[in-house]
Amino acid sequence: MKARESAFRDPRFWYSHFRICWGQIGPAFDPRLLSEAFGANDESGIAWWHEFTRWYPEIIDESDGELQDPTTLSIRFANALSMDIEFHPGLRPFYLSAPGSKRVLLGELGPHWRLPMLRWAEASRLSRLAVGALSYSQVLLLLLPGVWPDPTDDADQVESEVAEALRDIAVRHATAERLASQWRAAVAKGIEYSWMRHRPAGWASSSEHSLRRGRSAGPLNRLLARALEKDGAK
């Protein structure tokens, strides 16, 4: 089922997104700060999220929170590759695909999370290459749960760019800065899982939970490298 683009302009989406998509390796977001940022709370935000994902009480026991036809957002990039983000009641997988080929799982949020899926530089570039109704900031924030820091990143600059993306979706300046700071704390332990460059596999994570772990990440990295290209040039 195709996701309505208007959903990603709804503050209740972003409240729920930040409320449930972090906490794997660090603290979750303060719900009071999320309420200040998005004007929602657990009652209104999670009720909206349940409708958006078509959650019902038995779904976790029946299928571990997975639907056959989940609400899906398709993001197309400037080079004809695309990403599908599936919003199941109990998980959120991210798939990359090239024209005429099968989808490849990049990462997954949920109880059996497969993270990290992207370096900061990759998430930022992918977001800039997205075409369609969603803005750079919206795409970046959608990808953000799959981004863990790299020791080579300028942490202060990354935090500043996250705050700017939050301001771009109408979060007030001071609140955006506090929320970006909480994001930095929520993923800080990710720096313990280093990104390494293997040849010929490309960038790989040392996290045992990541699909980009070690030399086996080669096929996924090649597809990701194509997604990061524009008009055939890196």
Residue 88 has pLDDT above 60, yes or no: yes
CB 5 within 8 Å of CB 133:
yes
User: Helix or strand or coil: residue 155?
Assistant: helix
User: Residue 28: which pLDDT band, with cuts at 50, 70 and 90?
Assistant: very high
- Mean pLDDT across 111-131: 94
Coil, strand or helix: which one is 54? coil
pLDDT band for 229, please (50, 70, 90 cuts).
confident
Mean pLDDT is lowest, of 40-49, 65-74, 123-132, 186-195, for: 186-195
Polymer length in residues for the chain: 234
pLDDT single digits (tens) 205-217: 999 999 999 877 8
The pairing of strands 195-198 and 202-205 is antiparallel
Q: Between these two residues, 178 and 149, which has the higher pLDDT value?
A: 178
pLDDT, residue 231, reads: 52
pLDDT at 234 over 50: no
| Model pLDDT, residue 141 | 98
Query: Distance between CA atoms of 42 and 57, rounded to whole angstroms?
Result: 17
Structure tokens that stand for 12 in this block: 């209740």
| Confidence (pLDDT) at 119 | 93
Percent pLDDT > 90 in the chain is 74
List beta partners, residue 86. Answer: 72
pLDDT score, position 193: 87
Comparing 12-21, 43-52, 194-203, the range with the smallest average pLDDT is: 194-203
Of 214, 177, 182, nearest in space to 26 by CA: 182
For 22, the token pair is 């972090």
Using CA atoms, how far residue 60 sits from 31, 65, 90, 91, 192, in Å, is 24, 4, 7, 10, 32
User: 80 or 59, which is more confident?
Assistant: 59
- 154-189 tens-digit pLDDT: 999 999 999 999 999 999 999 999 999 999 999 988
How high does pLDDT run on average in the chain? 92
Q: Where are the beta strands (DSSP E) in 44-176?
A: 71-77, 82-87, 92-97, 104-109, 130-131
115: left (phi over 0), alpha (psi -120 to 50) or beta: beta
State the pLDDT at residue 202.
85
With bands split at pLDDT 50, 70 and 90, how would you rate the model's confidence at 151? confident
What's the pLDDT band for 200 if we cut at 50, 70, 90? confident
In this prediction, residue 101 has a pLDDT band, given cuts at 50, 70 and 90, of: confident
| Per-residue tokens: 120 | 């900061």
